[in-house]
Chain A
C-alpha cells in the first residue's frame, strides 16, 4: 500500500493541487480569487500531462545511438498549446473583471447578485 502511494507520489500531489484550485474556484466570492483558482486547476492538468510523459531512467528525447530509452516529448508539446489556452482564458477573465468593476463598482459575487436583484425589481 505504502509502495503504491509512494510510487505514484507525483499524481497524489497533482490531485492535491487540482483540488486546491477547484475548491478556491467554488468557495471564493471574489472574482479575482475565482480566476486564481481556475488557473491553479489548469496548472494541475498541465503537471499531470507532463508527468505522464516521464519514463523512469529515460533521457531527453534526442536521436543518438547511445540512448534508446527516452521520455515521451509529445505531452510536453501538447501542454505548450494548453498553456497558451490557459493564458488566454485568464487574460480574458481579468478583462471581464475590469469591465465588471467599472459597471458594478464591486468584484464580490454576492454584492453583484444583490445589485442584479435590485435591477430586476
Chain B
C-alpha cells in the first residue's frame, strides 16, 4: 500500500499548484500551500519509517517494468532527503503567512505560492526517482521555479541575481544532460540501479569517464561546490525571505544528494578513486570551508553573510563524502539535515528583522538586540549551532567529521575544519556584536506607513516558525537518535553497495 504513497508526494503538489495559480487571494493560496506541504511531511514520515531498517519501497510508474519504465526506488537516503525537504517546506509555509503579504506584490500571491509548490515538487521528485533522465527533468522543474521565486525579491538586484542563476543553473543542468547522454550511449539504460549492476561490462569505455566528468561539473554548479558557487550569495541574498529560507535549506542539499547517488550508487567507488577524485574533493571542500567562512566574515549585510556561510557548510559536507569512511559519510548525511535546520532558522531570523526594520545591514541594526530579545536569542542559538558548540546540532556533525578525519590520519583536514569553526565564531560574533554590544543607534526607518505597528512586535507566525527551527537545533543536538540512526543506516548502505560490486 505504501508504494502508492511515494507517487503522491509528487502528484499532490503537481495537482494543486495550477489550482493555486488561479487564486489571487492570499488566504486561499496559503491554505492550499499549507495542505501540500503538511501532506508531504506526513507522507515522508510514513515512508521513512518503512525503509529505515534498510528495506526498499518500489513504485513503477504506469506499471512499466524497469529498466524500460521509470522506477521510484526508495531507500533510507531517499526518504531522509524527502523528509528534510518537506519539513523545511512546512516551516517556510508557516513563515510565509505574514511574511509574503509584506514582501510580494499583491497581484502575485497565487503565482508565488504556485511556484513555491512546483519547486517543492521538483525537489521531492529528485529525492525519489531512480531514473536519471527523470531526475534531470525534476532538477529543471525545481530550478525554473526557483529562478522565478528569486526574481520576486524587493530590490532590483534580485532580477540580475535570478538571471545569472538562470544562466549558470542552465549550464549546470545541460552539462548534467550531456553526461547522462554519454552514459546512455555506453550503457543503453537510464535506470540508476540497472546501470550500476552492469557497470563492469562497459567500464573501460572512454565515454563513461567523459560522462562522469560532465555530470560532476553540472552537479557541482547546482550544488554550489566551492569554485562554482558564484551564483549563490547574490541569489539567496536578494530573494524574498521565504524563498531564502526554503532554497538555502533544500536546493543545494538536494543537489548534493544527487552527487552522493552518482558517486556511490551509479559509479563504483573504486572507479573514481582511481581518478584521484576523493583527494580533489577533499581539497575543494577544505578550501571552500575556509574561503566561505572568510568571505562571510567580510560581509556587512546579514543575508549575504548567511549565504557565504552556506558555501562553507557545503564544504563540510563535501569533506565528509570524500573521507570515504563510515564516520565521514554519516557526518555528511547528518549535516544535510542539520545545516538545513540551522540555515532555515538563521534566514527566518533575518526575515523577521527585515519584516520589522526594512533592513538587514548590520551597521543599521546596531544595538537593536534589546528591542527584539526573543528573535535575537533564536538567532544566537542557531549561530552557536553553526559554530558547533556542544549541545547543538552543529556539534554532532563536526564531532563525527573530525573523528572520521582523524581515523584517516588526514591532519590537514582536521586543521581546516577547526579553522573554519574559528572563522565561524568570528562571523557569528560579528552579528552578536552588532546586535548587543554596539551602542544604540537611532533607527533609520524606511518605507513604513504611519500607524504601522510592525516595528513594535514580531508577528506571531514568524516567531512560531523561528522558534520551531531554533528548538529543533537544540533538540536534535541533545537527542540525536532520529538523524543519527537514519544517517548511520544510509552510510552503511552506501558503503556496502560498493563492497557488493
Contact = CB atoms under 8 A, between A and B. Distances in A.
Interface of A: 22, 25, 31, 34, 38, 41-42, 45, 48-49, 52, 75, 78, 81-82, 85, 88-89, 92-93, 96-97, 99-100, 103-104, 112, 116, 119
Interface in B144-189: 144, 147-148, 151, 156-157, 159-160, 162-163, 166-167, 170-171, 173-174, 177-178, 181, 184-185
B160 A88 contact: no
Nearest to A52: B185
A89 B163 contact: no
27 contacts: A25-B167, A31-B163, A34-B167, A41-B174, A48-B178, A48-B181, A52-B181, A52-B184, A75-B181, A85-B137, A85-B144, A85-B173, A88-B144, A89-B140, A89-B170, A92-B144, A92-B148, A93-B167, A96-B162, A96-B166, A97-B163, A99-B151, A100-B159, A100-B163, A103-B156, A104-B156, A112-B160
B59 interface: no
Interface residues of B, number: 25
A119 to B, nearest CB: 7
B133 interface: yes
B171 A75 contact: no
Nearest to B163: A96
Nearest to A98: B159
A116 B160 contact: yes
B159 A96 contact: yes
Contact of B137 (A81, A93, A103): A81
Contacts of A93: 163, 166-167
Interface of A is mostly: helix
Contacts, number: 66
A89 B148 CA distance: 10
Interface string B38-63: 00000000000000000000000000
Nearest to B143: A89
A96 B137 contact: no
A82 B157 contact: no
Given A89-B166, A92-B147, A42 B160 contact: no
A117 B252 CA distance: 28
B136, B140, B151, B170, most chain A CB atoms within 10 A = B170
Contacts of A48: 178, 181
Interface string B108-151: 00000000000000000000000001001100100010011001
